[in-house]
Homo-oligomer: A and B are copies of this chain.
Amino acid sequence: MNIRPMQAGDFSAFWPVFQAIIQAQESYAYDPQLTEDQARALWCELPQETWLAEEDGVVLGSYFIKPNAAGPGAHVCNCGYMVAPAARGKGVASALCAHSQQRGRALGFLAMQFNAVVASNTVAVALWKKLGFAEVGRVPGAYRHRSLGLVDCLIMHKWLQAPEADKPLTASAPLIARKNIEAVVSRKRKKN
């Protein structure tokens, strides 16, 4: 398994995986009607970095990493992971998560936070716990599962560095958050 930066041209090969996952409506709070262009923007342009796992030219999965919030919250990162249905049970999610924690440390983040792990996704919850994430919150009925109806979402958290290692942030983190705002400003100006 090779994990490398995802390039814009890679997304088409990943799109069937992305689409199957959002249409299942079992794990991601993304609009199931997203187009490929919208999904590419969400997965590859909004985040700080996006990585792809592949083997023999076949896409196994992908993850993104970004600041979970701006300014005084920008020392915590957030990641999203997707694994191709055909590649499940082979340790891909585990490898992606380990890789993302290394990237998080390298980028200067102190901790990693997942905002909405669907509680009925027991395989994911068990994996994140095994990889050192703590359940720090549970929001009742926050996810409308396609077959189970309203299910809880978990907030999960892991320190990537001892909080004592706290140091000034790299310049890039707040800039990423600012980028999204500027996109909206620019869109609004074009409209007027």
Which chain B residue has the least Cβ–Cβ distance from A141? B163
Fill in one digit per residue for A137-149: 1 if any B CB lies within 8 Å of its CB, else 0. Answer: 1111111111001
- Complex interface: stretch among A70-78, A94-102, A122-130: A70-78
Size of A's binding interface in residues, CB under 8 A: 62
A20 at the interface (CB under 8 A from B): no
Question: Does chain B have a CB within 8 A of A178?
Answer: yes
Residues A11-32 near B (CB distance < 8 A): 22, 25, 28-32
Name A192's closest neighbour in chain B (CB-CB).
Answer: B8
Q: A136-B138, A136-B140 are in contact. Are A25 and B180 (CB under 8 A)?
A: no
Residue-wise interface mask of A (172-188) relative to B, using a CB-CB cutoff of 8 A (1 in contact, 0 not):
00100110111111111
In the docked arrangement, what's the CA distance between A151 and B179, Å? 26
Does A155 sit within 8 A of B, measured CB to CB? yes
Contact (Cβ within 8 A) A38 B181:
yes
Q: Complex formed: what's the CA distance from A164 to B182 in Å?
A: 40
Report which of B69, B113, B181 forms a contact with A34, defined as CB distance below 8 A: B181
Where the two chains meet, the residues of A that have a C-beta atom closer than 8 Å to any C-beta of B are 22, 25, 28-34, 37-38, 40-42, 45-46, 68-76, 110-111, 113, 115-116, 136-146, 149-150, 153, 155, 157, 159, 163, 166, 174, 177-178, 180-188, 190
